[in-house]
Amino acid sequence: MSKNKLKKFAEMETFSNVFQCAIGQLNAEGKFESREDTSVQAMRGHWHDTYFHNTHPIVLELGCGRGEYTVGLAALYPDKNFIGVDIKGARLWAGAKQAIEQNLTNVAFLRTNIEMLSRFFATDEIGEIWITFPDPQMNKATKRLTSSFFMQRYQEVMIPNGLIHLKTDSPFLSTYTREMIRINQYPLIADTADLYASSNTNQPLLHEAQALQTHYEKQWLDRGLKINYITWQLTKKSEFIEPTIEIEKDTYRSYGRNYQTLNAKH
């Protein structure tokens, strides 16, 4: 591990807005090696009274990376609490430090795997979820953050009819997500295949989604790519249906952020 990363990890240990497992609890892939409780797991069900000291809704950003969107939302909406979730500690450092510098008390960061949310949040503790530009995981459905696999896990911690927001440059993931919503009969609240061409004043959620742009989102827009924005309500279910439709794969890399020409011969 580089000295720079070691320095960031050491500094994060002093940040009051970062919650993470002891390094010994995580293996090389960032997964728990032990099921024993840790101090961060003691936060389960107590985020309002122990950390935020208010009853405002808690909003998660999953796969938050450097936390720019989490921090941006916290600054825009002081009447909500925001928690950025990611497994990469060196990334979280940037957002956590920025939040401290801006004196934002309604933002925190949690270092963990997303599939383990119920280890850190209680039933009905989360009001909304933002998923911003995730890896579309075109080869494995259970890794897609909008899959039925994850809907089941989100349901374990979200309030009934809580909102899930997706912003993505990926035609593959947006098509898949729309089908997941349709076959599971989740109420669709907002849906656009070109977010920044949308100006419907009757959909305030569109304006909320337009208010912030991530570093990579700006790059996609500069390249002429369109941004999909989809919001749905997570109604409580006992069974979850996984889409089985064939979807054309994206012709550029989204997760690696290295643009590939749309011309296959290159």
Helices H / strands E in the chain, number of each:
7, 8
**Residue among 37, 79, 135, 191 flagged as catalytic:** 135
Q: Can 191 be counted among the known catalytic residues?
A: no
**Hey, how many other C-beta atoms are within 10 angstroms of the C-beta on 138?**
18
User: Residue by residue, what is the 3-state secondary structure of 164-225?
Assistant: EEEEECCHHHHHHHHHHHHHCCCCEEEEECCHHHCCCCCCHHHHHHHCCCCHHHHHHHHCCC
Tell the residue number behind the tokens 């122990």, with chain if given.
Answer: 50
> CA dist 109 to 114, 120, 205, Å?
13, 12, 24
Size of the chain, expressed as the number of residues it contains: 266
| CB-CB contact of 68 with 215 (8 Å) | yes
Count of alpha carbons within 13 angstroms of residue 47, beta-carbon side:
31
Count of alpha carbons within 13 angstroms of residue 181, beta-carbon side:
23
Q: Which amino acid is at 229?
A: Y
Handedness of CA 231, 236, 241, 242 (dihedral sign): positive
Tokens of 159: 């309030």
Catalytically annotated residues: 135
